[in-house]
Structure 1
Amino acid sequence: MAKDDLKIPHVSWRNGRPRFNPSRTLREAGYVGEDLRHKDGRWMSAGEALDWSRKLSSKLELDKRKQRLSAGEPRKRSFRRYPSQPSSRRFPSASCSTSF
């Protein structure tokens, strides 16, 4: 699989080199496109670009949550509610008798 075939959010590939291309909404929020390089000038590998993308996505999600909370929207529950009674298919009732 060539690097050009990789699908990483917010990252496009130019001749095998990763580049951050923000969407219109991210550009409106102040983000600008940039080459994904290390401080010493080396290009990021595909794995490093994926890690960078995940970190950016986490930051964007956190910013979105903060914005919702400051606007007064109720918090979403992060846990799943289970029924108070177990399903009869998973847990047979005690009234079932077995003969040996």
Structure 2
Amino acid sequence: MHDLGPTAPAGHPPLGPWQTRLTVLRHLTPAAVPLLAAADVLIVQRLSAPEATLLGSALGMRGDLASRLPAMDDEMVAAFGAGSVRYTWLTPTPIERQLFG
């Protein structure tokens, strides 16, 4: 897991065989565009309008698709990969609600 904090870094640690990198960005900034464009899969929660525009330009999205991202519910995520997008509602179990609120 590679938590980048508030900004994207200049580089990232190299991967070995059979390894996967999960990168967490707290905010999308122009510095993150190369990282977004190179990702195989992106999972995003609701974004602000400027972040949605930035993601849309990084992925070459249609404007109407990027405009939906600020309107997603709190319990939704959008998964981008292989040229498609899937929206998913996350439903925590009762024990998850008890543990995490």
- What is the TM-score of this pair, normalised by structure 2? 0.21
What TM-score, normalized to structure 1?
0.21
| Higher percent of residues as strand | 2
Bigger Rg, structure 1 or 2: 1
Of structures 1 and 2, the one scoring higher in RCO (CA 8 A, sep 6+) is 2
